[in-house]
Amino acid sequence: MTKRTGMEIAFAAAEAAALCRIDVIAAYPITPNTHIPEHLSDIVADGRLDAEFICVESEHSALSACCGASATGARVFTATSSQGLLFMGEVMPIVSAMRLPVVMALGNRALSGPINIWNDHSDIMSQRDMGWISIFASNGQEVVDMVIQSFKIAEHRDVMLPLNINLDGFQLTHVVEPMLFPDQEEVDRFLPEYKPYATLHPDHAVSMGTLGLPEIFTEVMKAKDEALINSKRVILEVWKEWEEQFGRKYEPIDAYRAEGAKVLLLTMGSMDETAEAAIDELHKNKISVGLLKLKLWRPFPVEELRRAVKDAKVLAVMDRAVSFGGASGPVGAEVRSALYDEPDRPLILNEIIGLGGRDMTVGDFVQIAEKAVRAEREKPREGYEIYGVRGS
């Protein structure tokens, strides 16, 4: 029976991973993801889960251990944040190149320096092109659901790619929320046993992580790109199956009050629900602004985005990271690139917000929405702005 339980979201992520009967966990604690591996370590020590918890000396070792364990056919889970993800960086593209379905919970935190343990998206944006599937959760329920969905997506024979679930540090990781937990029988029904494509085994010779000379490297990169693009079909299938079994719907772009709206905001992660409250407030004052909540970052849902904005005149894209010296924030650049060829694309504003844990309130999103409404008349230059920065 599905049970509603109040729990810290980091703990909930660990409980969800345990429900997936993971075989190996290798992780190194770093704020704000720490409670995820810590709680998994408890679960294993208490005998509730028959898994190997590998205590490693660094994040580099954590992901290396995950890579090796996954190559033997184990179901593998890890978690990290910020600088920890950077330290995993060397192994990140190896896991995807070897097509190993490692699942990671990423408690998003700003990159240093100055040292800052609070939330923004600079960690994942720095690892954007590592060939991982990347999804964003708005709240604790989505974290629980996405952890369980992730193994099914990543391990699917038509995907075989690692996946990171992004949950905003503190705003999500440390918040206590009531969540629905499926029971073991329901998870077992949804998530089949992992059947690896190939495993490292002394009886069956196979080489993984081989050399690729210039004569083949381009073709291998094309194959990797196609694998990631094609994973979207399976992601949509798995989300559909989830909806059928559990009744909660997931889409690459989740639209909120966006029907017929000329002005749209686009957000990711924990900003989604604050922005929803702002949209409700604007509607009370008869200002029709819609919201697009981006759940799927890689593969980027180009067609879904084009459909979602086809009637819009202005689209304000929120970014929680700076692409220093670039033309806009990372999400802003992605959205502009995806819409560049569209004949009637909306005017695109790009707001860089909420850096290093700076609060974004309902009022802030209302202000940004009002600026977007004005932009429909005033047609400002499309650049980017670091919202709320003192001195501007």
Partner 1 sequence: MAEKKWPETWQEVTPGCMVFIPGNTREYHTGSWRAQRPVYDFSKCIKCGICYIFCPEGCISENSEGYFVADLDYCKGCGICAHECWPGAITMVEEG
Residues that bind partner 1 (CB under 8 A): 97-100, 160, 197-198, 205-208, 210, 212-213, 215-216, 218-220, 222-223, 226-227
CB of 218 to partner 1, least distance (A): 8
CB of 102 to partner 1, least distance (A): 13
CB of 196 to partner 1, least distance (A): 11
Nearer to partner 1, 216 or 389 (CB): 216
Using the structure block, give the residue that is written with the tokens 């905001």.
265
Nearer to partner 1, 176 or 216 (CB): 216
> What does the alpha-carbon distance between residue 158 and residue 208 come to, in Å, rounded to a whole number?
18
CB of 225 to partner 1, least distance (A): 9
Nearer to partner 1, 95 or 360 (CB): 95
Contact 297, 121 (CB under 8 A): no
Nearer to partner 1, 158 or 303 (CB): 158
Terminal CA-to-CA distance of the chain, rounded, Å?
A: 54
Nearer to partner 1, 1 or 205 (CB): 205
CB of 66 to partner 1, least distance (A): 15
Nearer to partner 1, 67 or 263 (CB): 67
> What does the alpha-carbon distance between residue 231 and residue 162 come to, in Å, rounded to a whole number?
11
> What does the alpha-carbon distance between residue 375 and residue 350 come to, in Å, rounded to a whole number?
12
* Cβ burial 278-299 (10 Å sphere, 16+ → b, else e): bbebbeeeeeebbbbbbbbbbb
Neighbours of 391 (CB within 10 A): 3
Comparing C-alpha atoms, which of 257, 294, 263 is closest to residue 276? 257
> What does the alpha-carbon distance between residue 105 and residue 127 come to, in Å, rounded to a whole number?
14
CB of 105 to partner 1, least distance (A): 23
Nearer to partner 1, 66 or 278 (CB): 66
Pairing verdict, β 385-386 and 76-80: unpaired
Classify residue 287 as left (phi > 0), alpha (psi -120 to 50) or beta: beta
> What does the alpha-carbon distance between residue 38 and residue 40 come to, in Å, rounded to a whole number?
5
CB of 315 to partner 1, least distance (A): 34
